[in-house]
């Protein structure tokens, strides 16, 4: 599984959802991408498949306060490992708002099997007269 750039990730997710057509499950996961800064400083690359732009961000005023990137994964959950599609990307904290807007638009367009929640009309009971 290779990590894609955000724009390429959106295209691949849209293709996966179109190909699936609501026939089977799609699994979405997201988690904080954490790794030690000390390991990177010592020359050990803990996540070597990340692009060069992904760096840990230390807060200027408080060095103990860190912001982390988010790892987003999408898979079709195919039981055959050879046919399984796995997509992932890393989102930087400063790009998060724009990413979520685009991500939700892609998902809404691709989830054709979802139904809107039906609102039931509550019957109002008339107060009985005594």
Q: Where are the strands (E) in the chain, listed by range?
A: 3-4, 27-33, 57-58, 66-67, 69-75, 86-91
pTM of the model: 0.64
Q: Tens digits of per-residue pLDDT, 80-104?
A: 888 888 999 999 988 999 999 999 9
Closest CA to 9 of 70, 93, 66, 79: 70
Q: Tens digits of per-residue pLDDT, 36-93?
A: 554 444 454 555 556 666 665 555 666 666 778 899 999 987 888 888 889 999 999 8
Considering the segment(s) 3-110 as one domain, its CATH architecture is: 2-Layer Sandwich (3.30)
């Amino acid at each position: 599984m290779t990590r894609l750039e955000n724009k390429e990730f959106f295209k691949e997710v849209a293709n996966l959802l179109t190909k699936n057509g609501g026939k089977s499950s799609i699994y979405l996961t997201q988690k904080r991408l954490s790794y030690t800064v000390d390991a990177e400083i010592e020359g050990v690359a803990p996540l070597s498949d990340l692009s060069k732009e992904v760096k840990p961000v230390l807060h200027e005023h408080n060095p103990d306060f860190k912001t982390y990137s988010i790892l987003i994964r999408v898979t079709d959950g195919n039981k055959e490992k050879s046919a399984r599609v796995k997509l992932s990307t890393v989102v930087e904290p400063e790009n998060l708002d724009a990413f979520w807007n685009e991500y939700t638009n892609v998902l809404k367009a691709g989830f054709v099997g979802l139904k809107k929640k039906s609102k039931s009309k509550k019957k109002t009971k008339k107060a009985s007269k005594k």
